[in-house]
Structure 1
Amino acid sequence: MEQKEINTQILSEWLDTGKKVNVLDIRPTHEREEWHIPGSIHIDAYEELKKNYPDALKSVDFDKSIPVVTVCSGGKTSLVAAQLLHHSGYESYNLQGGMKAWSLSWNTASLAFDYFEIIQFRRTGKGCLSYMIVSGQEAMVVDPSLPVEVYQEVIDQRKLTLKYVADTHIHADHLSRSKELAETFGLKPSIPENDKLTFPFHSISDGTTFKFGDIQIKAIHTPGHTLESTSYLIEDKALLTGDTLFTNGVGRPDLKANEAEARHKASLLYHSLRKLLELDKSILVLPGHTSQPVAFDRKPIQASIEEVLMNVSMLHQEEDAFIQTLLNRIPTTPANYLTIVEKNLSGDFTGINLTDLEAGANRCAIS
C-alpha cells in the first residue's frame, strides 16, 4: 500500500480546528531549534532514517487512535518515518514538502476597536506577520507576505474595497506581495520613500496619512533596521512597527551594511525607538515578525508599549550602551537575503522558486 501524504493546507486545517494529531519532527536538533511547527514532537532520528535503520523510531509510543504526521526539511526522509510508523500500526501521513512547504502556512487573529478591526495574518512557520485594517467597508493591507489570493478571499467574502497596500520597509527575509496585491486591485503600492525600487509606487514620508472608512493612519519614519523603515499609527490605538520594534526585541541594523554603517543605523534606530516610546504607553505594538512558531490559537501577537518596555531591557539604556549591546547581539544573517532584497526591489518574481528562497527561520529581531 502506498504511503499516505497530506499537504500543508490540510495539516493547517487540522491544527486550526483542533483535530487531534501528533506531528512528529524527525529533523536534526539544530534544524528544529531554528524553526518548527507549533505543538510538534521532536525525535532526532534523521541520520538513522536516512540509513534505513528499522529501529530508528523505536522510542515512539503514541496513542494509536490519533493520526501521526511526520515532518522533515523537504518531505523525503519523513516519508521513511511515516512508512515505519505505518508498519507499526499507526495511521501515519507524510507532510509533502516538509518544512520548506510549511513556510507558507498561515493562520489569523483579530483585534476589534470602536471604529476599525485589525486582522493579523501569521505565517506560522516563517513568523512573518501582515495586517488588514478594516473600517466600514474599506480596507488597507500592510506588509503582505502571503499569496495574493489569501487577502483577496477575505476582501471578496466581506465585500470590502481595498484602498491601500503598504510596506513598512524593503524586506530582506521574505518576498513582498505589495506590488502584486495592489495591481490586482488597480492600485499602486505605498512604500516608504527611497530611490531603490524600479517600479512605480506612492512614496510615503514622515507624517503621511491614510484616510479610509472612519479612521486615519499616520506614517512615522523610524529608520534603523533600514533607512526607509516606517511605522504606522492607527488612531492612537495600535502601532504597526514592521521590523523596528518587536514585542520582545528590536530590529537588527546590520543587513547590507558594513561595520560603520551598522553602527550608524543602530544610532538611527535608538532615536526612532525613543520617538515611538514617547507615544501613549497603552498603544498596542503589532510587529512585522515573531521569532517563535505561531500557534493556531487565534490570539494576536501584540504587547502594549508599556509591556514592551518591561520585556526589552536594552530600551532603558543610553545611546552608546544601546548601540554596543545591539552590535554584540547580531544574529546569523538570514539565508538568501541579498537575493530576496534584489527581487523586492524589482518586484519581479518570475523564474524563482519562492519556497526554496524563503525557507528558514526569521532572524530580524535582536532581544
Structure 2
Amino acid sequence: MSVAELQELLAAHRPVTVLDVRSPADVDWEIPGAIQVDAYGDLQSGRLGRLAELNLPPGPVVTVCGVGRTAAIATHLLRANGVEALTLDGGMRSWSLAWNTTQTTISDCQVVQVRRTGKGCLSYIVESQSEAIVIDASVDPEVYVRLLSERGWRLVAVADTHIHADHLSRSRGLAHLEGAALLLPTQHRAQYPFRPVADGDRIVFGSTALVAMRTPGHTDESTTFLLDNTAAFTGDTLFLNSVGRPDLEGGTRQERTSRARLLHMSVSRLLQLPEATQVLPGHVSEAIPFDGRMLGTTVETIRDSVPLARLEEAAFVQAVLARIPPDPPNHLIIVQHNELGQFPVDPSELEAGANRCAVA
C-alpha cells in the first residue's frame, strides 16, 4: 500500500488497522492510531510472536516498520493466518511525507493549516479576497497548487519564517512553480534570490496584510508573521506547549547563551500580544491525527500553561540550555540544502524521524 492510499483511507475515516512492528528503541514517530507491537525479533526469526495474540478488527491491516522490510515479513505471516494484510511501501521513511489539512476563518481571512502528519510540520495558506500567501511550505509544492486551485485562490507570495533545520523547505520550489514572490527574513544565509522581509514590513494581499515581527533566538533571522494581531504564525519560536531551541546554529556556549537570551526576549514580546491572539506554530511534537481540528492555541493559554514562558530571563536561559533535546536527524545537511536552495530527488531519507525543534 502506498503512502497516498493509506493517507486517503485515514482522511476518509474508513476502517483500517495500522500495525507498527518496530522495536521500541526505533520508534521516534508514529502513524496516528497505530497499534505498537514489539515484534521485530520474532519476525526476523520467521514467527508472528505477539502478533498472533492480537484480536484484530475486520478490514485491512497495514503493517509498518522503518523502511518496509520487516513489515513485509509480518504481512506474509499474517496473510498465511487469514488476515487481510498489506505492507506500507517505504515504511516510516516514506510516511514522513504524509499530510492532512484543516481550515478555519480568522479576521475575515481563510486559513488552511497543511499538516505534515509524518513529521509534525505545520504550514499555512492564508487567503484574503482570493489572494493567498503560503507560510513555511513543507510538503510537495503540487499539494499547495491543488489546494489553491480547488478554492479558486491565486498565490501571490510564499514566505518562510526562518532557515529550517528539520525539514527541506518547499517554498522556493512553490514560488517558482506559481510565479509568486519568495519572501525570507532579512539575513545573509540564503544563497539564492529572495525578497527580504525586515521587522515591521507589511506583506499586502487581498484587503489585508501580514506584518513581520522579528523574533530571533531559534535562529538569528527568525520572524513571526502577524495577521491583524488576531493570529501569529510563530514558526519555530513559540509552540503550543514549548519554545524553540537556540542551539542549532552551533557556536560556543556563550553564543548559545546569547541566542537563548534573544529567545526569551522574543517569547516575551509575543506574549505581550492580545490574550485572544491565536498562536499558530511551525511544528507540533507528535503525530497529527486526521481529525480536522486546527492545531493552535491562544496567547492567554500559553501564558497560563507553559512554565518556561513565565520565567525571568536568567532562569529561562538556564532552563532552556539544560533541556536541549538531541539534534534533529541530518540537520546540518538539511540546513545546507536550505541555505543553497537545493532540493534532492528523494527527500524522505534526509527528513525521516522526529523534528526535535522544541524545548519543553
The corresponding residue for 1:260 is 254
> Match of 1:3?
none
Structure 1 position 325 matched with structure 2 position 319: yes
Q: Which runs of 4+ in 1 moved over 4 A?
A: none
Question: How many angstroms apart in 2 are the aligned matches of 1:59 and 1:83?
Answer: 16
- What residue is the counterpart of 2:86 in the other structure? 93
Q: Which amino acid aligns with 1:220?
A: M
Return the match for 2:265 from 252, 268, 271: 271
Q: 1:25 corresponds to which residue? A: 20
Counterpart for residue 31 of structure 2: 37
Q: For residues 160 and 306 of structure 2, what CA distance do their matches in structure 1 show?
A: 25
Q: Is the Cα–Cα contact under 8 Å of residues 115 and 214 in structure 1 kept in the other structure?
A: no
Give yes or no for the alignment of 1:304 onto 2:298.
yes
CA distance in 2, matches of 1:314, 1:196: 29
Q: How many pairs were matched up? A: 359
Match of 1:314 in 2: 308
2:7 pairs, out of 12, 19, 29, with: 12
Structure 1 residue aligned with 2:289, among 287, 292, 295?
295
Answer yes or no: is the 8 Å Cα contact 2:106–2:231 preserved in 1.
Answer: no
Matches within 5 A, 1:75-86: 75-86=68-79
2:236 alignment partner AA: D
Unaligned stretches of 5+ residues in structure 2? none
Answering whether residue 47 of structure 2 is matched by residue 53 of structure 1, we say yes
2:114 alignment partner, one of 95, 103, 121: 121
Letter in 1 for 2:76: Q
- Give TM-score, length-normalised by structure 1: 0.96
Unaligned ranges ≥5, structure 1: 1-5
Distance 1:54 1:159, change over 3 A: closer
Q: What's the CA shift for 1:9?
A: 0.7
Whether contact under 8 Å (1:145, 1:177) holds in the other structure is yes
Letter aligned with residue 152 of structure 1 = V
Identity across matched positions, percent: 43
Query: Secondary structure at the residue paired with 1:57?
Result: helix
| CA distance in structure 2 between the partners assigned to 1:163 and 1:353 by the alignment | 28
Selected match of 1:226 from 219, 241, 261: 219
CA deviation string 1:175-219 (max 9, x = no partner): 001111111122331000111111000001100111111211100
Letter in 1 for 2:62: V
Distance in structure 1 (CA, Å) of the matches to 2:126 and 2:82: 48
Q: Distance in 2 between the 1:250 and 1:89 partners?
A: 48
Deviation at 1:55, TM superposition (A): 3.5
1:124-176 C-alpha deviation (Å, 9 max, x unpaired): 01000000001111000000011110000112222221111000000000000
Closer, same or farther in 2 for the Cα pair 1:25/1:85, shift >3 Å? Answer: same
Amino acid in the other structure paired with 1:343: H
Q: Residue 52 of structure 2: SS of its match in structure 1?
A: coil
1:355 paired to 2:355:
no
**Cα 1:314/1:54, change in 2 over 3 Å:** closer
Q: What is the distance in 2 between the residues matched to 1:212 and 1:294?
A: 29
Return 228-237 or 50-59, whichever deviates more.
50-59
* 1:220 counterpart SS class: strand
Assess if the C-alpha contact under 8 Å between 2:276 and 2:299 holds in 1.
Answer: yes
